[in-house]
Amino acid sequence: MGNSPYQMHPMIDLIAIDMDGTLLDSSHSISPRVRGAIAAARAQGIRIVLATGRPYSGIEEYLAELGLAGDEDYCITFNGAVIQNASGTTSVEETTLGYDDFVYCEKVARELGVHLHVLYERSMMTPNADISYHTVRDAYISRTPLMFRSVDQVDPAWRFRKFMMVDDEAILDKAIARLPPELMQRYTVVKSAADFLEVLHPDAGKGRALATLATHLGVPAERIMAIGDQENDLVMLEFAGVAVAMGNAIDAVKAVADHVTTSNNEDGVAVAIERYALKQATGVS
C-alpha cells in the first residue's frame, strides 16, 4: 500500500459538503463522477449533508438530483442559520436576526458605500433602489424571489436568516477594511465569495451548525469529513475529524485542511470521497 494514492483514514459516518466552488463546478452543475461518488458513499451508509450559504430554494433541485431530499436527510442552509431536514418540512434549529439588526446593518452598508440584500423565509429583499448586479445574480442562482423595499417599508415583525453586503471585489474589500468593530462583536461575519460578505446571528455559522447536527444525529466529530473552499467553511473544517480543502480553495482553507483535493472543475469532491471516505479506498479487500 505504500505506493497507493489513497491514505488511511478514520471511519467516516457523515460528509458535510459546501456547494458553490465545491460540490458544483463553474457551470453550477454536479459532474457524473461526483454524483457517483456520493451515491457510493450513501450505499455504504455514509450520510451526506449539503452545507451552504444558499437558502433552501437554492438547493432543492440538487438535493433531488442526489436523492437527498428525504425526511431523514439533513442540510445546513443560510451559512448555518438554519439546520433542517432535506425535505424542507422540519427545522432542527434556526438562528435569525430581527428588525433592529436590519436597521443597523443597512446603515453600516450605506455608510461604507456597498450594496445590501437580506434573506427571510423564501424571499430576498434589498433596500437599494439601484439594485446591484451581484444581488440579481445571487437571486437568480439561488432561485429566490427578489424584491425592493425601502427601509420604512420593512415589516418590523420580519425575521431574517442573514444579511449580505455585496459589491465588486475591490469595492467590497475596501469596505471590509473599514468595518466597525461593533459589527464584528455583535455578529458572525464571514466572506463567502469574492463579492459576498455575510452577516449572521452570533450563534450561526456552518461550524456550529455542523456540531449541532452531529449531536442531533449522534455522530462524533472524528467520524465526520468536511469539504470546502471559502472563509465561511473554515470553522466547519476545523470541527470535522477529516478536513478537505478544494484545489481552488483560498489559502486560509488549505492551511487548516488535512488534505487538499483537486478543484471543483476536476471532480474534487469525488476525489476526496474516493480517497478518504469510501471503505474500499484503502485497497484492503
**What gap in Å lies between CA 137 and CA 242, rounded to an integer?**
33
Measuring CA to CA, which residue among 22, 29, 15, 163 is closest to residue 100? 163
Question: What does the angle CA 189 – CA 50 – CA 6 come to, to the nearest 5 degrees?
Answer: 105
**What gap in Å lies between CA 106 and CA 104, rounded to an integer?**
6
Verify whether residue 13 is a known catalytic residue. Answer: no
Dihedral sign (CA 99, 85, 164, 206)? positive
Judge contact between 101 and 163, C-beta under 8 A.
yes
Rounded alpha-carbon distances, angstroms, from residue 157 to 58, 120, 187:
24, 11, 20
Indicate which residue of 13, 18, 25, 267 is catalytic: 18
Number of neighbouring beta carbons within 10 Å of residue 126: 22
The torsion of the CA quartet 194, 196, 197, 198, rounded to 10 degrees, works out to: -140
Active-site amino acid positions: 18
